[in-house]
Structure 1
Amino acid sequence: MTVEEFEEFYARTVTRLTGQLYVMLGDLHEAQDVVQEAFVRGWSRRRQLDREGRPEAWIRTVAWRLAVSRWRFGRRSADAWRRRGEPPHVEGPGPEQVALVAALRGIAPQQRRTLALHYLCDLTVEQIAQETALTTSTVKTHLSRGRTALAHRLQDPHMEEAHGA
């Protein structure tokens, strides 16, 4: 099956196959996911699908098996959680964490990434440079500018009043 033939096959059958899996599974989003995944797997086997002469049946079978596999995984996970007991209660983020996340969202993405790699992942400037394909001086610049921008965004006007008065 050529690329063009596969694309034509996809366009001709995706809606029908999704409808069939939807009826089988009772969940439209799951049907869409497994049919798409089956087509992705079929893409690399398109010559084999052509020789077998039943590409639609192959896609439908693979989609069904993917759905069953997901269902089994979900069931095993749920069983494991039940055996373990209730998950421990985890407190939500406090006001400081919410403020920090909001401040981080307000700075440049590269500065945010660099700060996260340095302070959360505990990477050195050299390691960050290697991971991001930046020079060490660029990493240092991002760290410096990121810290300045973050400090500016995190300034508490009440703190200034207490220190300035």
Structure 2
Amino acid sequence: MTAIVVTETPIAAHPPSFDEIYSAHFADLAVQLYAYFGDRQEAQDVAQEAFCRALARWGTVARYDDPVAWIRRIAWNLAISRWRRARTALNFLRRQPPGEPRVAGPTPERVALVAALGTLPAAQRRAIVLRYLADMTVGEIAERERVAEGTVRSWLHRGRTALAERLGTGDAR
């Protein structure tokens, strides 16, 4: 007579929790990515992003035969995408012109003129700027400011006189 031996087999081992997978595999994945990137922070960021994506789908991912392999694949895909974006940005920057041309700073005379203009009353300052920097005629300035042309001429005369005194030129034409 032979005896029948009955062994119990577990119906299904409980799938690992996210916390178990994270604590067991995060450091290993970060080290692998560090070897790829050469940048520890970048590697940790990518590993963290992969685990965040796994957590968002953990109900599905936990039932995979190897959830860690899925997380690793996501991490490597993210790493490759970041590398490609960085390469594209670098190639773009290399094709750019070498930068803005250097412009000399303001001369001492210009600094003194701007400071002197700042001391004039607003109407005189506007008249001087519009006449000599914007090349507007007295008539155009009068129309813009809604005043008589004689008023604009008066502002210009007073402004030039004040500027000549402040700048020490003595010429108020």
TM-score range, shorter chain: 0.3 to 0.5
Q: Greater share of helix residues, 1 or 2?
A: 1
TM (norm. structure 2) is 0.46
Q: Larger C-alpha radius of gyration, 1 or 2?
A: 2
Higher relative contact order (CA 8 A, sep 6+): 1
